[in-house]
Amino acid sequence: MRKRTYFDDLPRSGWPSPNEMEHYFLSASGRRQAFEIDNDCWGLSAEGLDGTEHLPGGKGRIDLRLTAWGNPGHGVVLEYEKRGGGRDIYYSKGDLRRLREWVETRHGDLMPIGLFIPFERAWIAVKEFIESDGALPQSIAWVSSRDIPPGTFPDPGTESPIRR
């Protein structure tokens, strides 16, 4: 299994230890550094789970990624995606009554406020992901992409939703 990191200035090959990531979620200066200054989206990925590393992508190889979008006022949205033999996507489950309220990311995407969870809870899930070698963390509630209503992720160029 080949692991990759896309998180601030951490090494790209492999996954960092939890100690290397903790301050990004639990300290104000770490949150600013990771989620406010230049970028607000980071992630961890793995290719070739369960002995499939020798197979090409889309042809039997199992890949996964955990993506984190942070916002100083709302917390973090986590997206867990596993591909290979199907595609499963799960989002951190915040206050689902707020799925029709959005905040704009640094890249111009609209993220539903109802999927944000506090930084501290997101950290527990990220740490569990690393320590379990990529298993879906059980420390937080998740909602499947199949259970999210249409229009939850609007195209910012075609709609004018409420932004907070």
pLDDT tens-digit map of 77-113: 999 999 987 889 999 999 999 999 999 888 888 999 9
User: What pLDDT is attached to residue 34?
Assistant: 87
Q: Does some domain include residue 143?
A: yes
| pTM of the complete model beyond 0.85 | yes
**Residues of the chain with confidence (pLDDT) below 70:** 156-164
Name the domain count of the chain. Answer: 1
136: domain range?
2-147
Q: Does some domain include residue 157?
A: no
Cα–Cα distance measured from residue 114 to residue 74, given in angstroms and rounded to the nearest whole number: 9
Q: Does some domain include residue 154?
A: no
Looking at the DSSP bridge assignments, the partners of residue 68 are 42, 78
Provide the residue count of the chain. Answer: 164
Cα–Cα distance measured from residue 113 to residue 162, given in angstroms and rounded to the nearest whole number: 11
